[in-house]
Amino acid sequence: MTETVSTIGKRSPSRFLSRVRRSLLRLVGQSGEIPVGSVNWGALRRTQPLSRNFGYDRGKPIDRYYIEAFLSDWSADVAGRVLEVKDATYTREFGASRVSRSDVVDIDPTNPKATIIADLNQASELPADSYDCIILTQTLQFVYALGDAIRYLYRSLKPGGVLLVTVPCITPVRRIHQGWYWSFTEQCLQRLLSEQFAPSDVLVRTYGNLLSATAFLYGLSATELGKSELNSCDPDYQVIIAARAVRPVR
């Protein structure tokens, strides 16, 4: 019988994943190998995801869990004059009273939250030497001229200002977005930022592992995995890559 999404939801993918893990541990044995044909896919043997909205309809998306963990680690940087894309959600959450002025940039002139209308491919509208912090989460995949975008962002930072950026690696792609051009790797983001910032001023981190990457592709939410499962890091399965880049004080 074909299983529906509602049926799978009632079975709880998190409990199913726990059963799969227990079964795999029993199969592994001393050799560390799982016999071919012994994996029970159960509710996950399907070609359609449980959610096509990154898991938002099931809880907090897994990529957002990692993004917010990164921003939490560097929340002290969110201070002074801060720029964010599309809205100021993370500026408020992680900067709070440390923020003296909040700006929002968007390409969409109908966005009422935008204080600056600009295309990051050619963002000459961004003021130079102005920002103590720029928060750029899950944006660069929509920007074709990556090198130009980084140059304009660097130019907009004050000396000593910080760019906090996250990009996708292993991810579903929403085709409703016109112009999803890129997925990234740790080496790609490091090299891209180091073409403008000094390499010693760029810190890159990866987030994710095989389980969280698989769950993210299926559309499961972060609430359906345990903290230890989410926080385990395997650089061969990068869900999110994040970087902190600082414009030097001259």
* pLDDT values of the chain reduced to their tens digit, one per residue, 250 residues: 444 444 444 556 666 677 666 655 555 554 567 788 888 888 889 999 999 999 999 999 999 999 999 999 999 999 999 999 999 999 999 999 999 999 999 999 999 999 999 999 999 999 999 999 999 999 999 999 999 999 999 999 999 999 999 999 999 997 765 689 999 999 999 999 999 999 999 999 999 999 999 999 999 999 999 999 999 999 999 999 999 999 999 7
CA quadruple 136, 140, 143, 146: dihedral sign: positive
- Distance separating alpha carbons of residues 185 and 35, to the nearest angstrom: 31
Contacts of 5 (CB under 8 A, 6+ apart): 50
Which residue ranges make up each domain of the chain?
1-48, 54-246
pLDDT attached to residue 35:
86
Single pTM value for the model: 0.86
CATH class for the region spanning 54-246: alpha beta
The one-letter amino acid at 149: A
The C-alpha R_g of the chain, in whole angstroms, comes to 20
Q: Is 12 left (phi over 0), alpha (psi -120 to 50) or beta?
A: left
The angle subtended at Cα 178 by Cα 175 and Cα 184, nearest 5°, is 75
